[in-house]
Amino acid sequence: MELDTSSKIQIHVGGVYGDKKKSIQRFVERFHNLENSLRRRLVIENDDISYNVNECLQISKQIQIPVLFDVFHHQINNSGSIKEALELCAKSWDLERDGIPMIDYSSRNPAGSRRNHADSIDLEDFKCFLAQSLQFDFDIMLEIKDKEKSAINAINFAMRDLRVQEFFESLC
Ligand SMILES: [Mn+2]
């Protein structure tokens, strides 16, 4: 597809199998056995049960790949404030090699279980998230069930954000 190394494949670290330290070790070993072309594509994402942001960052330090920050997972499997986690994850991306940091955004489905992703974007929650992230620049992947509908609402809303306005200005 002739994509450069800023095109990423996001994965979770995986299971814990009763021993997190050993599982991390195995993850690192397997990673080192991969071809370089694949290693440069991978990013790890904090999940909502097993590996939080701090644990992903520890792994990231060992194998030099970025951590993709999932906001909703962080709210469930917490390791500090959103702002702090965002800053640490953003630093794990090398702009030249990895491109602009990417994050996953969604919120809880109020009618579902606490791990259930929302059907539609909650603009109040999105507004609070944007307010906590003002000093960072990143791409947002929406993990929301009604997809384009929420994406259009999010873009319309984010048009008030200077970072988005600057992006559009940079296109012409
Ligand atoms: Mn995610």
Closest CA to 88 of 138, 41, 48: 138
Strands 102-105 and 67-70: parallel
CA of 45 to the centre of ligand 1 (A): 7
Q: Is 82 inside a domain boundary?
A: yes
Structure-token pair, residue 120 = 């539609």
CA of 18 to the centre of ligand 1 (A): 24
Tokens 């194998």, residue located: 63
CA of 63 to the centre of ligand 1 (A): 21
Strand order in the sheet with 42-45: 9-11, 42-45, 67-70, 102-105, 139-142
Q: How far apart are CA 75 and CA 42, in angstroms?
A: 23
Q: Is 84 inside a domain boundary?
A: yes
pLDDT above 90 covers what percent of the chain?
83
Q: Is 4 inside a domain boundary?
A: no
CA of 121 to the centre of ligand 1 (A): 15
Total structural domains in the chain?
1
Beta bridge partners of 32: none
CA of 118 to the centre of ligand 1 (A): 13
CA of 172 to the centre of ligand 1 (A): 32
Q: Is 136 inside a domain boundary?
A: yes
CA separation (Å) from 58 to 52, 90, 161, 166, 167? 10, 14, 32, 33, 32
**Mean pLDDT computed over 86-101:** 96
- Give yes or no for a contact between 48 and 115, defined as CB atoms under 8 angstroms apart: yes
Q: Is 1 inside a domain boundary?
A: no
Domain that holds residue 111: 9-171
Average pLDDT, the chain: 94
Confidence band, pLDDT 50/70/90 cuts, at residue 33 = very high
Q: Is 85 inside a domain boundary?
A: yes
Q: Is 2 inside a domain boundary?
A: no
Residue-wise pLDDT for 95-149, tens only, equals 999 999 999 999 888 888 889 988 999 999 999 999 999 889 999 999 999 999 9
Any idea what the CATH number is for the domain that residue 38 is in? 3.20.20.150
Q: Is 3 inside a domain boundary?
A: no
- Give yes or no for a contact between 68 and 8, defined as CB atoms under 8 angstroms apart: yes
CA of 128 to the centre of ligand 1 (A): 19
